[in-house]
Amino acid sequence: MNVYLSLILIVPLAGAGLLALFEQFKNFFNRFKICTKCLNHIVANVIALGVFILGILSIFLNSMWDLNTTTDGLLEYGLLQAILITIFGFLVWMAVLFSVDYMKGKDGLGFYYALILTLFSGLSAVVMANNFFTLFVGWEMFALSGYALVAFERMKRGAVEASLKYFIMSTAGSLFILLGTALTYGYYGSVNFTVLRASSIASPITGAIIAIFIMGFGVTAAMLFLNAWLPDAHSHAPSTISALLSGIVVKAGAYGIYRSLYWTFASDNILPTRIFISWLAILTMFEGNFLVFSQFWRKDIIDFKRILAYSTTVHLGYIVLGFGAGTELGIGASVFHILTHAAGKGSLFLLSGLLIAAVGSRDIRSMQGLGRRSPFVGIILTIGLLSLGGIPITGGFVSKLLVILAAFNGTHWPIMNIIIVIMAIINSLLALGGYLYILKIIVFDKPESDEEDKLKIPVFEGISLTIIAVVIILLGVWPEKVFELIVQAVGALW
């Protein structure tokens, strides 16, 4: 792999170590009147922005940096990896920029940023892995960072419990991945993706290995009945971490499923697996929508962050549905939906941090009418929710449409394709209904109190939310170039 591109792994890890040292020696810095928190903010933002820019450059300057996928070694860096790491880097930068205001007055800032950068490095290693061993190392790196970040505000009620729940379920998933890796090596004598793709055969043992990997990756992907960790982790974590968990961490699970199905085993002989994956995706959507609406029926608290967390399950269903189609269009549509969902859900979770700070509660009923007090909040919330709901001129509309088209033209039997598409459209309409209900309460309903003062939007929080909103609209209005690039990346590996 090109030495410059290895910086994508090295720089965040080195930055994490530096930020942890800043936190350890903050008393020493204070003696010389050096603002340690300012140093943490500056270094974290420079690193996050730098890695994001490096990802973009690696996409568009591939003639200079040679992005050909390798066939050996521990890591590889092709166009698809560049695209995914750029998506991850963008949301990490937005979360770090948002944190400049969001983390004011909170201790452990250096450790907080160090964990975020370590999480990003782990995700990058998973994407760049060329074998199951390297993938597992990266997997554990981001998972351990995730546990600590969920429990970062450990003095808040439920934070440690949510982290422990996440730890137990995620560890169980990791054990399935480790078991699948061991069985793969025992049966094929290798864990290298390229070697396995050339030598794997359709057999009951291969089918069992694929099923084990789907189970392991499915926990992090929040698939059907494997998502019990999701609402607690998302609702008790800092909102910036909730944005990262929903926006990029769960996508690692979906990516692992894609790796297993198309880059590793005999993809030409796994039609039954693709059918299973497609129906698993549909059932996951139905479960997610049911859990979203179950929150609206609660009388104690209608938790905004739990609703957004369960909504993530619906969208992971769409991503996996594209994988199940078994075509280049399906894989490309899934990757594009990873991008639009990361932007849409990232903006809403970041915005939730602003709203919760304003009203002191996660209950959306206490947020009633906040959109009237702040047009900015109303606009950001509307763009984010409508994108997730698949309304035109937003990126979510394009990616959902592409996934549905891919499912309609999938490799299954025609009648099954039609049924799957109908189910996907029904779930999209159900999800849209939930988003419109949230929009009604926060933007269109009158505030219960007589408070008419405008809501103050901190500068860096406002900049971060504005950038994401612009990206969502651009992806909805001019998606062609981005999608063509994604299809090119997928086609090179097909």
**Cα separation, 105 vs 99, whole angstroms:** 11
Say if residues 365 and 350 touch (Cβ distance below 8 Å).
Answer: no
What's the pLDDT at 72? 60
Of the chain, the percentage scoring pLDDT greater than 90 comes to 69
Mean pLDDT across the stretch 284-297?
95
What's the pLDDT at 107? 85
pLDDT, tens digit, 9 for 90 and up, residues 460-491: 999 999 999 999 999 999 999 999 999 998 87
Mean pLDDT across the stretch 255-282?
81
The predicted model scores a pTM of 0.94
What's the pLDDT at 268? 53
pLDDT over 70 at 451, yes or no: no
**Cα separation, 342 vs 91, whole angstroms:** 7
| Residue 310 exposure: Cα atoms within 13 Å on the Cβ side | 21
pLDDT over 70 at 147, yes or no: yes
pLDDT band at 96, cuts 50/70/90? very high
**Cα separation, 179 vs 173, whole angstroms:** 10
Nearest-10 Cα torsion for 421, 428, 92, 474: 90
Say if residues 52 and 34 touch (Cβ distance below 8 Å).
Answer: no
What's the pLDDT at 267? 54
Burial class (CB in 10 A: 0-12, 13-18, 19+), 7: middle
What's the pLDDT at 385? 96
Across 11-15, 37-41, 412-416, 468-472, least confident range: 412-416
pLDDT band at 292, cuts 50/70/90? very high
Mean pLDDT across the stretch 71-92?
87
Mean pLDDT across the stretch 290-297?
93
In angstroms, the first-to-last Cα distance of the chain is 21
Mean pLDDT across the stretch 147-165?
91
More confident residue, 381 or 4: 381
What's the pLDDT at 252? 94
pLDDT over 60 at 67, yes or no: no
pLDDT, tens digit, 9 for 90 and up, residues 332-351: 999 999 999 999 999 999 99
pLDDT, tens digit, 9 for 90 and up, residues 163-194: 999 999 999 999 999 999 999 999 999 999 88
What's the pLDDT at 262? 80
**Cα separation, 241 vs 233, whole angstroms:** 9
Place of tokens 């993530």: 312
The CA radius of gyration of the chain, in Å to the nearest whole number, is 22
* Sequence-separated (6 or more) residues with CB below 8 Å from residue 248: 87, 88, 91, 92, 123, 342
pLDDT over 60 at 233, yes or no: yes
Single-letter amino acid, residue 275? I
What's the pLDDT at 271? 61
Mean pLDDT across the stretch 353-365?
91
Of the chain, the percentage scoring pLDDT greater than 70 comes to 94
Mean pLDDT across the stretch 271-296?
91
What's the pLDDT at 157? 82
What is the average pLDDT score of the chain? 90
What's the pLDDT at 280? 94
Mean pLDDT across the stretch 412-424?
91
What's the pLDDT at 286? 97
* Sequence-separated (6 or more) residues with CB below 8 Å from residue 470: none
pLDDT band at 494, cuts 50/70/90? low
